[in-house]
Amino acid sequence: MFSSQLLMVVGLAASIVCCCPPSCPSGWTYLEKTTSCYKVIKKEGGLDQSEAQALCVSLGSNLTSIHSDEEHDFINDIAETSVNVSTWLMTMTGGVRTGGKATDWKWIDGTPFDYTNWAPKMPDNDWQTALQVYTAVGYPSWDSASLGPYSTSHRHWDDIRADKKFINAVCKRPATRQ
Ligand SMILES: [Ca+2]
């Protein structure tokens, strides 16, 4: 009797899990590894970190956290394809400095700060309390040698002023099962 009840419970649980694959609202992009949805947000005149976070919250999300190479690459990909740039493209994330040490950081969404992808010599200024990603290098006439130290910064992190206006920011929210 007990085992048949257990089977029913397992079967019911399986049907609930299997019937509804995770999905994202329209305009959001799904990443299976994190079962989360991501959206590049923009605003005329740009967004600083608090303005970007407020916009993410209004969309039921937070500025993105980053926890793995796969998630980092995914965020760079959607940010780079969101605009046609001929200059540096920096993308604002939900990283916030909490102190003066290089390890003193947290994510706005409350998840652990358990992964880093800093550019060489970054973070470098304790008054730079936000975290940006160098998502694109768009100087077409410049080769990587003339970019010098910046060539090694592409797709890596930098600490930056939180009141700097950004073209791009990325919001993140859990996927839903409907
Ligand atoms: Ca910096």
Q: From CA 167, how far away is CA 178, in angstroms rounded?
A: 33
pLDDT for the residue 82: 81
* Ligand 1 midpoint to CA 47 (Å): 18
* Ligand 1 midpoint to CA 161 (Å): 8
* Ligand 1 midpoint to CA 119 (Å): 9
Contacts of 37 (CB under 8 A, 6+ apart): 24, 25, 28, 29, 30, 31, 61, 172, 173, 174, 175
How does pLDDT run across 86-140, given as a tens digit for each residue?
Answer: 556 789 999 999 999 999 999 999 999 999 999 888 999 999 999 999 887 655 4
How does pLDDT run across 142-160, given as a tens digit for each residue?
Answer: 455 555 556 678 889 999 9
Q: What are phi and psi of 45, to 5 degrees?
A: 85, -10
Burial class of residue 104, CB neighbours in 10 A (0-12, 13-18, 19+): middle
Domains annotated for the chain, with CATH where assigned, are 22-174 (3.10.100.10)
* Ligand 1 midpoint to CA 145 (Å): 21
Contacts of 164 (CB under 8 A, 6+ apart): 48, 130, 132
How does pLDDT run across 15-36, given as a tens digit for each residue?
Answer: 555 568 889 999 999 999 999 9
